[in-house]
A and B are shown apart, each in its own frame.
Chain A
Amino acid sequence: MAWWSRRRAVVCREAVELVTDYLEDALSRRDRQRLEAHLADCPHCSEYFEQFRVTIRTIGRIEPDELAPEIRDDLIELYRRWSA
Chain B
Amino acid sequence: MSADEELLRRLRAGDETAFAALVEQYHAPMIRLATAYVPSRAVAEEVVQDTWLGLVRGIDRFEGRSSLKTWLFRILVNRARTAGPRERRHLPLGAGETVDPDRFQADGQWAVPPAPWTDDVDDRLDAAEVVGRVRELIDALPAGQREVVLLRDVEGLSSADACSILGVSEGNQRVLLHRGRARVRRMLELELGKV
Contacts and interface: CB of A to CB of B under 8 A. Distances in A.
Q: By CB atoms of chain B within 10 A, which of A44, A47, A64, A71 has the most? A: A64
Contact of A47 (B19, B52, B114): B114
Contacts of A79: 14, 16, 19, 52, 56
A83 B14 contact: yes
B52 A78 contact: yes
Interface string A8-24: 00011110110111001
Interface string A24-48: 1010000000000000001011011
Contacts, number: 135
B153 to A, nearest CB: 4
B156 to A, nearest CB: 7
Chain A contact residues, majority secondary structure: helix
Interface residues of B, number: 57
A12 B28 contact: no
Interface stretch (B65-73, B76-84, B101-109): B101-109
A50 B24 CA distance: 34
A10 to B, nearest CB: 9
